[in-house]
Amino acid sequence: MSNWKGKCHIPALAFVIGGSLAFQEKVGFFLLAGLTSYWLFLYRRQLPLLMLIVCFGFFGYFYLSPSSYKNLPTLQEGVQVKWEGGIVSDVKETPHAYQVILKDENNEKQMVVYFKEDGNLKPHDWHHGSHCALIGSAEAFAQARNPGQFDYRSFMAEKGIVHQLIVSDLTDIQCDGRSFLSYIYEWRMEMDETLRQRIDPKAYGWIKALVLGETDELSDETLDWFREFNVSHILAISGLHTGLMVGGVYLFFFRLGIAAKRQVHIMIFLSLPVYTILAGAAPSVIRASLMALSLILMVLMNRKVPLTDLLSLAAFGLLLYSPSFFYNIGFQFSFLVTFSLILSTPIFKQHDGFWVQSIIVSFVSQLSILAFQIHYFYEFQPLSLFVNLLVVPYFSFFVIPFMMILFLLSQCFPFISYNLSSYFISFHEWVLSTVINFSRALDFKWVLGELTSSIIILYTIFFMVMMKKWGEGKKGSSFFYGGLTVGVLMISCVLPYFSSKGTVTMLDIGQGDTFVIELPYRRGVIVIDAAGPPVYTRNQEKIAAEIILPYLKSKGIDEIHAVFISHEDSDHNGSVTYLLEEMDVNRMFVSAYYKVEDETKNVVHLQRGDQVKIGGYAFDVISPETDRGNPNDNSLVLSSDIGGKRWLFTGDISVGVEDALLLNSPLLKADVLKVGHHGSNTSTSEEWITLLKPDVALISAGVNNRYGHPHKDVLDRLEHHQILVLQTNRHGAVQYNFSHQSGTFSTFLPYNASRE
């Protein structure tokens, strides 16, 4: 066993590389396979170790393969099904429902959902470990319908859950029994409720986040700021929080002479599993607790084990227990940062001083996950290092310890906890607002877009070599490889500016229109309409935040050269405000009869006969000519040649405007027609189609929308003329990828029509 001391990371790494190879495609697969072959070549003289690496690699390839969750058994949707299983999660309460995860004897899992009714309390017989028999309606989880959009269906599938079973009445589900763990969950819930009642409401959100691991009480603005400046790891309970908890117990019981060192170690060893559950049992806190438990166990046994071995065994054990951790962002970030910091020990020995080492910790932590962070979130703040230097020590040495103390006081001395929390939150809000104001001067977002696996692999290699050279004291070589590390990201960032390919995308934003045109060589990015949700929706940022902005950022776009808004209905302009806030918009074009409240945003009014040129592409305005007194009929109608096809964007014009255009422009043609008013029967007349003779018709309409769009008569007319119809309610986002004068249409969701 001693021969393996310090080498446990080798089979664990082989296991992870095997899993990574399982979902690589094309260039990424061959690049990673080539590097793996070189790694195996290095061990050619150590046959037993070489065979072990190969075995663990194959094991990881099959055990962590995406096919393990993509081929899960499915249920017929919308049909009442009978199902039995044991509850394997805590009961989660949302504003509208109660949810639990059930697993049957075949290890298949389903989420069970019971929607609340007025005055409903938590189902009394739902507990971890309960065995339940139920009748429910199977429904699929919401899936991404656009590039760059979060895919909740895949997210749940990675956890081994394909469906949610909707229970309409509690009599349809019968549960009995419970596990010991359920009492701990119940105890946690009771402590949370006690905390809520005995603490200042503003402080409650922070304590719940930093002690219980749940951020739902913090504002979206606060969470967004922590994410944007790469300090969200403070809110994700991990090694920092676990270390502070362990240190606090050690300081209190041993340093004050209450208990001997060995007794304290046993006390921590027994309490850490409880703390893990109390803190939410996220992968990061499980990792930290496992390492702490292992270290204490080694101390109690008078054994010394390298930290890399403990970390590798913890990673391998967690992945063996649940392969879904492999796809968990928190798991990936936690292990990458921890492993990088452990391997950076030689670097820390070269530098003295708290602030110097703090800078190195922040620098290494950010670089270790940077490629993955950009891949998942498409952007980062290069100057966030300075914010980390202020925020991390403040939270580490003051906020988190104080939150833990307040949590304990709330359970034991409520008359002290409320007043203390009130004083704390006043000071904390002042400090945080000061830091946020300071951060505005450093607010420089670098939007790179979604990274390919080959870019991530190259980045990781150069980063590892840079760290190795730095640890060896070879600063020149380290700086060189550091330049290559950044250079890989720069190459990814500038690739669109050297590409002859362009794209026209009709985003699926529900009942509304949003088109994004990306010209070749990134000569221009044009947005035609930016729909928002219905006016009665509470969250008016929803469409922009979940669909439009993620798409733009996933393509590395942070500048929009032109925004055309056809008319002032919210299903066409509802997200404009958020685009202007998040993106650098050069100009906004509207109809001559569009009333704009804020004319300072480089707004240009257009009417028939005007032409706008962007990046060498001309957009001709063929309507409106006169004020028709109706926003729909005053829609901007644009015509442009893109990718060898003539495009016509029609807004929400009616048959009356179509007739006027037929009269005034008898030679008007269109290869691609954006069907007016989402396929309503008030537009797209027989005469209109006959004159234009389009090959492709694009319809943007919401799934099962209350208007019945697109109308059957319109679809029948288009089909009669043998026009290919692509519609968002059926196909999700629709893209036209072109180069020079030719291109191809594709749909984000599978397209099953007979004609491609």
Same domain, 61 and 84: no
Q: Which of 70-74, 559-563, 591-595 has the highest mean pLDDT?
A: 559-563
Indicate if the pLDDT at residue 442 is higher than 50. yes
Does residue 56 sit within a domain? yes
89 vs 92, 98, 136, 185, CA distance in Å? 8, 12, 19, 9
Same domain, 545 and 572: yes
Query: For residue 756, what pLDDT is reported?
Result: 38
Residue 147: is the preceding peptide bond cis (ω within 30°)? no
**What pTM, to 2 d.p., does this model score?**
0.89
Kindly report which listed range (423-427, 443-447, 515-519, 725-729) carries the lowest average pLDDT score.
Answer: 443-447
CATH of the domain at 115: 2.40.50.140
Same domain, 151 and 49: no
Tokens of 727: 């519609």
CATH of the domain at 644: 3.60.15.10
Kindly report which listed range (63-72, 88-97, 125-134, 276-285) carries the lowest average pLDDT score.
Answer: 63-72
Same domain, 173 and 24: no
Does residue 279 sit within a domain? no
- Helix ranges restricted to H, 378-413: 384-394, 400-412
Structural domain ending residue among the three candidates 65, 82, 114: 65
Output the CA angle 324-327-331, nearest 5 degrees.
Answer: 90
Query: For residue 246, what pLDDT is reported?
Result: 76
Same domain, 61 and 77: no
Q: What are phi and psi of 106, to 5 degrees?
A: -95, 10
Same domain, 101 and 146: yes
Same domain, 81 and 147: yes
Residue type, 85: G
Structural domain ending residue among the three candidates 42, 65, 88: 65
Same domain, 86 and 38: no
Query: For residue 3, what pLDDT is reported?
Result: 63
Does residue 11 sit within a domain? yes
Structural domain ending residue among the three candidates 161, 178, 195: 178
Indicate if the pLDDT at residue 711 is higher than 90. yes
Q: Which residues contact 284 (CB under 8 A, 6 or more apart)?
A: 236, 237, 238, 239, 330, 331, 333, 334
Please count the residues of the chain: 756
Give the gyration radius of the chain's Cα atoms: 29
Which residue range forms the structural domain that includes residue 612?
499-747
Query: For residue 720, what pLDDT is reported?
Result: 92
Query: For residue 118, what pLDDT is reported?
Result: 60
Cα distance from N-terminal residue to C-terminal residue, the chain:
61
Same domain, 100 and 116: yes
Indicate the pLDDT class of residue 119, thresholds 50, 70 and 90.
Answer: low
736 vs 270, higher pLDDT? 736
Same domain, 125 and 60: no
Closest alpha carbon to 139 in 168, 117, 174: 168
Does residue 753 sit within a domain? no
Kindly report which listed range (44-48, 448-452, 505-509) carries the lowest average pLDDT score.
Answer: 44-48
Percent of the chain past pLDDT 70, that is, above it, reads 96
Does residue 533 sit within a domain? yes
pLDDT, one tens digit per residue, over 502-545 is: 999 999 999 999 999 999 999 999 999 999 988 777 788 899 99
Instruction: Indicate the number of domains in the chain.
Output: 3
Q: What are phi and psi of 525, to 5 degrees?
A: -125, 120
Report the pLDDT averaged over residues 283-290. 78
Q: Which of 32-46, 190-204, 331-345, 727-741 has the highest mean pLDDT?
A: 727-741
Does residue 214 sit within a domain? no
Query: For residue 140, what pLDDT is reported?
Result: 86
Percent of the chain past pLDDT 90, that is, above it, reads 41
Indicate if the pLDDT at residue 755 is higher than 50. no
In which residue are the tokens 């060189």 written? 480
Give the span between the Cα atoms of 596 and 603, in whole angstroms: 8
Same domain, 7 and 153: no
Indicate if the pLDDT at residue 700 is higher than 90. yes
Does residue 365 sit within a domain? no
Give the span between the Cα atoms of 320 and 441, in whole angstroms: 45
Same domain, 51 and 80: no
711 and 680 Cβ atoms separated by less than 8 Å: yes
Indicate if the pLDDT at residue 754 is higher than 60. no
Query: For residue 458, what pLDDT is reported?
Result: 92
Where does residue 378 fall: left (phi above 0), alpha (psi -120 to 50 degrees), or beta otherwise?
left
Indicate if the pLDDT at residue 674 is higher than 90. yes
Query: For residue 634, what pLDDT is reported?
Result: 93
Sign of the Cα torsion 393, 397, 402, 405 reads positive
Give the span between the Cα atoms of 362 and 120, in whole angstroms: 47
Does residue 725 sit within a domain? yes
